[in-house]
Amino acid sequence: MAHPIMFDDADPLLGRVRQIALALPDATEVIAHGRPTFRCGKMFGNYGGSVKGGERRDHSILFIPDESERQALVEDPRFFLPAYLGPYGWLGLALDGSTDWAEVAELLDASFRQVAPKRSMARLPSPGASTE
């Protein structure tokens, strides 16, 4: 049985995430488990999820944090441990009208750099350059 779709294609927050994620070299979008995922070989971003324990956060981005930043992000109340992906090192960030999109771009860029193949990495701008 297929998973039900758990997003609205016209969601403006999803539109911004798509713009950022798909600007990365060789990035693609695949619907998995009813949600948009962003991949470059492996998954580096997921739109929407839930907090470990059950609360859904449909307007959020899940990502793999850079290990050097992980502890600071965990201590920031804006971030959460997502169900299913959390045990594999992923974190989530709720998105709303006050979202810092440069921060989202940095988080997705860092996540991308952890999974992208060398040929895609070679096409990236230097770390810290904006992908927006």
Q: Is residue 3 part of a domain?
A: no
pLDDT for res 129: 55
Q: Is residue 126 part of a domain?
A: no
Tens digits of per-residue pLDDT, 35-87?
999 999 999 999 999 998 789 999 999 999 999 999 999 999 999 999 999 99
pLDDT for res 3: 87
Give me the helices (H) in the chain, please: 12-21, 67-75, 101-115, 118-121
Q: Is residue 93 part of a domain?
A: yes
Q: Is residue 1 part of a domain?
A: no
Which range marks the domain in which residue 68 is found? 12-121
CATH code, domain with 116 = 3.90.1150.30
Given a contact cutoff of 8 angstroms between Cβ atoms, the answer to whether 3 and 84 are in contact is no
Residue 15 bridge partners (DSSP): none
pLDDT for res 11: 97
Tens digits of per-residue pLDDT, 104-132?
999 999 999 999 999 999 999 776 555 45
Given the structure tokens 């990365």, which residue do they identify?
A: 24
Amino acid at 18: R
Given the structure tokens 């999820």, which residue do they identify?
A: 49
pLDDT for res 69: 96
pLDDT for res 130: 53
Q: Give the Cα separation of 86 and 51 in Å (integer).
A: 9
Number of domains in the chain: 1
